[in-house]
């Protein structure tokens, strides 16, 4: 670890404390005296944040792909297919696979279509 100000690697820990699933350490550079805080994240928590970050990147891709956010994510042709498969009593998991959607996404869309009077 290096000092963010002078880039020296000789540091000392001034204070250390546990906060939830992290360790916060107050560090001081021996060379220039600059103090700064570091946060150490335990591995399971880091994995959670990595998964969360991956999901955010997927959502950024959806919003930047020319679709108009969530309102444009479902196409009219998908709704027609969903309605047809719904009335044919095809299981939601099969519908989700065919439409390349999640099971929960299919459930939520069916609820919206019912509210809109289309089902």
Residue 64: the pLDDT is: 64
Altogether, the residues listed in the chain come to a count of 119
For the chain, give the percent of residues with pLDDT over 70: 84
- Would you say 93 and 107 are in contact if contact means Cβ atoms under 8 Å apart? no
For residue 76, what pLDDT band results from cuts at 50, 70 and 90?
A: confident
Residue 59, token pair as written in the block: 């959502």
| SS3 at position 105 | helix
Residue 73: the pLDDT is: 64
Terminal Cα distance for the chain, rounded: 60
DSSP 74: S
Name the pTM for this structure: 0.40
Residue 32: the pLDDT is: 93
Half-sphere exposure of 10 (CA within 13 A, CB side): 4
Average pLDDT over the chain, rounded to whole? 83
For residue 12, what pLDDT band results from cuts at 50, 70 and 90?
A: very high
Report which of 50, 44, 4 is spatially closest to residue 21, judged by C-alpha positions: 44
Residue 48 pLDDT exceeds 80: no
Residues contacting 92, CB < 8 A, separation 6+: 103, 106, 107, 110
């Amino acid at each position: 670890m290096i000092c963010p100000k002078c880039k020296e690697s000789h540091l000392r820990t001034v204070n250390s404390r546990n906060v939830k699933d992290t360790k916060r350490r107050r560090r001081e550079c021996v060379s220039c005296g600059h103090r700064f805080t570091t946060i150490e994240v335990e591995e399971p928590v880091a994995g959670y944040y990595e998964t969360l970050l991956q999901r955010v990147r997927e959502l950024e891709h959806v919003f930047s792909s020319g679709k108009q956010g969530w309102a444009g994510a479902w196409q009219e042709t998908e709704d027609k297919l969903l309605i047809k498969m719904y009335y044919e009593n095809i299981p939601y998991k099969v519908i989700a696979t065919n439409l390349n959607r999640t099971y929960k996404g299919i459930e939520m869309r069916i609820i919206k279509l019912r509210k809109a009077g289309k089902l």
